[in-house]
Amino acid sequence: MQEALRNLPSIDRLLQSDLCQQWCQQYGRPAVTDALRAALDDARERIHQRKAVEHNSVVFDLVHFLQCVERRLDFAFAPSLRTVINATGVILHTNLGRAPLSGAAIQAMQSIAKGYSNLEYDLEEGKRGRRDSHAVLKLKAVTDAEDALIVNNNAAALVLLLSALAKGREVIISRGQLVEIGGGFRIPEIMAESGALLREVGSTNRTRLSDYHEAIHERTAMLLRVHPSNFRQSGFVESTPLSELVALAREHGIYIADDLGSGSLLDTTQFGLPYEPTVQESVACGADVVLFSGDKLLGGPQAGILVGRKTVIQAMREHPLARAMRADKLALAALDATLNAYQRGFAAAEIPIWRMIARNSAELQELALRWQRIVGGAVIATRSTIGGGSIPGGTLPSHALALTVPNPNATLQLLRQTNPPVIARIEDDAVVLDPRTVLPEQEEELLKNLQEAGLNSL
């Protein structure tokens, strides 16, 4: 054992090799030195363990050693945030980043990221400008709202709304709308952080206009309607239409806000989906402010968007929290480009999530059959999901490739270790890959990864 330990190369000697010199140029000498030191510690430990078990000498394998060092360096410098292939059939998969961006949005982000921009500079006046002016004109054009404001996500938009317009006063909301959104965030907790006072009315399944009317008094600041997000009630249910809430708010001189969450700008029924209220409808109905996400049914970057009456938006724009919650230049660039597709009437053709939603079952069956010819398995009829707290209960008919394997969970783990990782799902004890959410440019990589994972003979 002592001889084997003495035969281990020194770090200085290893650093002089051509391969380590290449690594030093790529990763830096300190990182390579740390990787070599850690790999040598592992080698010494293996020598001790094998000597104790086998009672004979151990030969040092330099090739294997350098492979271990290379794996350490690759792991240390691999990006934490990685591209994955979404084969789950969940279009707005929150854990996978929700909406993929359009080519125009990506190009806009790249253009702004690689140099300086007029983020807070007025090109016409030649002086400091306003960050919150970007994308506002397009938002006004596509929603018919008087004004708009963009923050970093919809939870921030809600906090800003309540802080600016209802701090220390009551906000009336139906008990059936006290939802919990992704990550354990609950509407009552968000409202409490804003300093607004929650006033629940009605019951879980039925809230009438009279319930709101009876709850209004001198401390009431706002009526708030919240989209149910991840669930849908059915059966013995009743809710108050927005138009009636608007009329009631006007009668009492208080605000009416509509938190739509997913914020669709298109009629979802034309794609065979359940009806989802649009932003334009809420604005036209007279809501003082409508708030929604940028990375859900809008199909853009993460953002919280508030549109509505000019005086109401201005009050939020001037609130101190607006600066803390503002969107960055890349999100603004991507949002502007995304809205451009809506303004031109081409959103269904250019926004990736709407292209996915519009794909018909026959087209997806053809894709699944093509995959089957390459990797085997069976083509099954299934349902794709919208996801992301949008259109609760809304699914689309699809076809997928089902792979029958001895251990489906182990296969999912194996697919997550490919490059790029493939994220699939289990259905009826089979590994299922739904082509609806696989981007066209990722199909070749998907098939390669399936073959490399040994799934081409099933």
Mapped onto helix, strand or coil, the DSSP state of residue 386 is coil
Per-residue pLDDT, 178: 75
Per-residue pLDDT, 53: 47
User: What residue spans of 86-126 are helical by DSSP H?
Assistant: 103-113
The ranges of the chain with pLDDT < 50 are: 52-53, 55
Quick check: 147 and 309 in contact, CB under 8 A?
A: yes
* Fold classification of 85-94+354-452 (topology level): Aspartate Aminotransferase, domain 1 (3.90.1150)
Which helix (H) or strand (E) segment is 200 a member of? Answer: strand 197-201
Closest CA to 392 of 273, 298, 280: 273
Judge whether 85-94+354-452 and 101-348 match in fold: no
Q: Is 60 exposed, middle or buried (0-12, 13-18, 19+ CB in 10 A)?
A: middle
Question: Residue 205 and residue 211: Cα distance in Å, rounded?
Answer: 13
Return the amino acid letter for 350: E
pTM above 0.85, yes or no: yes
Per-residue pLDDT, 143: 97
Q: Which CATH architecture has domain 101-348?
A: 3-Layer(aba) Sandwich (3.40)
* DSSP bridge pairs for 385: 90, 395
Question: Residue 280 and residue 49: Cα distance in Å, rounded?
Answer: 70
The label of the residue with tokens 């968007």 reads: 305
What are the residue ranges spanned by the domains of the chain? 2-77, 85-94+354-452, 101-348
Phi and psi (nearest 5°) for 41? -60, -40
Q: Report cis status (omega within 30 of 0) of the bond before 30.
A: no
The label of the residue with tokens 């149910």 reads: 228
Closest CA to 36 of 64, 11, 4: 11
Per-residue pLDDT, 298: 97
Helices vs. strands in the chain: H and E counts, helices first: 20, 17
